[in-house]
């Protein structure tokens, strides 16, 4: 189990690093935005982020629960 977790973490490090770097760059460029606009952007995009995150989580659950070689999976 620990080997599988370490393997997955190693595979995701580049994506995590790119995401963090992108976030820092965006903060640098958009730090002068008015707080009202930032507030509206956050409360518009955050639900989208939560939805997409849940979608990916459900997909990964389905992928590992059913296996990659099976044609049909009844959850």
pLDDT tens-digit readout, 8-55: 889 989 999 999 999 999 999 999 999 999 999 999 999 999 999 999
Instruction: Output the CA–CA distances (angstroms, integers) from residue 11 to 6, 15, 53, 56, 69, in the order listed.
Output: 9, 8, 18, 16, 21
Structural domain boundaries of the chain? 1-32, 34-75
pTM of the model: 0.61
Q: With b meaning 16 or more CB within 10 Å and e meaning fewer, what string describes 45-70?
A: eeeeeeeeeeeeeeeeeeeeeeeeee
Closest CA to 73 of 52, 61, 57, 51: 61
Q: Which two tokens stand for residue 4?
A: 């599988």
More confident residue, 2 or 50: 50
pLDDT > 80? residue 71: no
């Amino acid at each position: 189990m620990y080997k599988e977790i370490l393997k997955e973490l190693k595979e995701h490090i580049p994506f995590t690093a790119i995401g963090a770097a992108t976030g820092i760059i965006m903060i640098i460029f958009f730090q002068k935005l008015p707080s009202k606009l930032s507030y509206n952007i956050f409360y518009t995009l955050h639900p989208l982020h939560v939805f997409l995150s849940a979608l990916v989580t459900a997909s990964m659950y389905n992928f590992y629960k059913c296996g990659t070689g099976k044609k049909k999976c009844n959850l």
